[in-house]
Amino acid sequence: MNYDEKITNVSILGAAGKMGSGILLLTAVEITDLSFKKENQDKVFVLNAIDISNKALSGLIEYVRVQVRKIAEKKINQLREMYKDNSELVNNSQIIDDYIGKVLANIRTTTRMESAYDSEIIFEAVNENPELKIKLFTQIDNNSKNLPWFFTNTSSVPISYLNEKAKLGGRIIGFHFYNPPAIQKLVELINSEATLPEITEFAQIYAKNLKKFVVNSNDIAGFIGNGHFMRDALFGIKMVEELQEKYGFAKSVYIVNKITQDYMIRPMGIFQLIDYVGIDVCVYIMNVMNPYFVDEEIHSELLDKLFEMNIRGGQNSDGTQKDGFFKYQKGKMTRIFDLSSNTYINIEDVILADEILGPLPEKHLTWKKAVKIKENENLISEHFSNLKNTNTLGAELTVKYMKATKAIGEKLVTLNVAKTEKDVNDVMKTGFFHVYGPINNYLD
């Protein structure tokens, strides 16, 4: 397997989407850097950006232009070394402008699937819809002049299922970038039993070149990240259902969101995270996962109801947050959905729930502080030691949630989704920016 030869012609499906655009950016920079190698100077690198909307593709190019400038400015010393034999480009701005031009010149935007028929590598980042993925893989494979390798960004669909249904003969691997791909360091790498070893070899080189942190997940629906997140979300919803009899729906959502953020030292509360990922995306993922686990129900009637009401979360094209459990203004939660009235109410109307929860321990740790401290283990341990000795509703609920999320992590190992407890913790810390893994001894 010659890595440089294999990556000379690549197509990205869903290139203008949230995930596809990041994958396109990273791959465009990678092939441009490879083109500077002496042995590659006669090669033509092609990167097809395929999507259904010409308008979205137009915006994609501008996105790439802006992001490549930022990347170039950060690695100007590397670029000066790459351009050392070019006497016509002297100052940094000239080098950066030329580099941006080279990156953009490798990209071909198109709405025509036929462009992928010549590609050696196909990156797929379309909706989490198994049948759509299979349809696209089959169409490309049946018309390809090569035997292309398929890199699917699925976060939940078993690779063996896609391989079997699209009849790919093992030419597929799960390469799950985390959102946003250009920033997130984590990649979940998923091999099916049939995945060809040379594809895994290529994937490892590609990930290393992109400076990604790889965690290998076994080929079981949901993999490690969503295997934990979906169950974590369901537990949060279950806790709301228990609390709402006493406190009402909106206040219960606020309570659970607060303990999963402030008390558990996470960057977002669980319902804020569901909003960020998208209620619709969570519904799709649960629908994929549920048939594979006969001993549990990975499904939420509440999420289904919100979906049917067109309350779906996710982000707008400009990156702002769409309405979900909360309404947002400039990134801050301003209103919260009240199921009893099917309307949003001011966050001030439920914020008195803080008094119900009781105060955090005096020496409590915030996520913003913890994430800035490299050696934070003792501080985290002290936070939870103080918390479990605090006699408040907030502390009680947090202990309950912590035990549940640990059990979820351990179950992923028992189910052979994750190879080790460390893999579970690595995914949650790297992919979800948690400052500690769910499998821990803080409450022992």
Give pLDDT, residue 320: 87
Q: What are 44-95's pLDDT values in tens digits?
A: 999 999 999 888 898 899 999 999 999 999 999 999 999 998 888 879 999 9
Residues of the chain with CATH 1.10.1040.10: 225-431
Averaged pLDDT for residues 356-384: 93
Q: How confident is the model at residue 350 (pLDDT cuts 50, 70, 90)?
A: confident
Other beta carbons within 10 Å of 418: 28
Helix intervals (H) in 248-362? 249-258, 270-277, 279-289, 301-308, 353-357
H or E element, residue 124 = strand 121-124
- Indicate the fold that domain 225-431 takes in CATH: N-(1-d-carboxylethyl)-l-norvaline Dehydrogenase; domain 2 (1.10.1040)
Give pLDDT, residue 349: 86
Q: How confident is the model at residue 157 (pLDDT cuts 50, 70, 90)?
A: very high
Task: In the chain, count H helices and then E strands.
Answer: 18, 11
CATH number assigned to the domain covering 3-217: 3.40.50.720
Nearest alpha-carbon partner for 5 in 120, 115, 123, 151:
120
Residue that the structure tokens 């490892």 belong to? 204
Q: What are 119-153's pLDDT values in tens digits?
A: 999 999 999 999 999 999 999 999 998 999 999 99
Q: What are 14-28's pLDDT values in tens digits?
A: 999 989 999 999 999
Above 80 in pLDDT, residue 295?
Answer: yes
Give pLDDT, residue 107: 97
Question: What is the residue-averaged pLDDT of the chain?
Answer: 95
Cα 384 from Cα 365, distance rounded (Å) = 9
**Cβ neighbours for 168, distance < 8 A, ≥ 6 positions apart:** 137, 141, 150, 162
Q: What are 36-56's pLDDT values in tens digits?
A: 999 998 999 999 999 998 888
H or E element, residue 23 = helix 18-35
Percent of all residues in the chain with a pLDDT value above 70, rounded to a whole number: 100
Cα 172 from Cα 164, distance rounded (Å) = 10
DSSP state of 291: G
Residue pair 117/149 in contact (Cβ under 8 Å)? The answer is no
Cα 284 from Cα 171, distance rounded (Å) = 25
Give pLDDT, residue 361: 86
Phi-psi region of 37 (alpha: psi -120 to 50; beta: other; left: phi over 0): beta
Helix (H, G, I), strand (E, B) or coil at 160: helix
Residues of the chain with CATH 3.40.50.720: 3-217
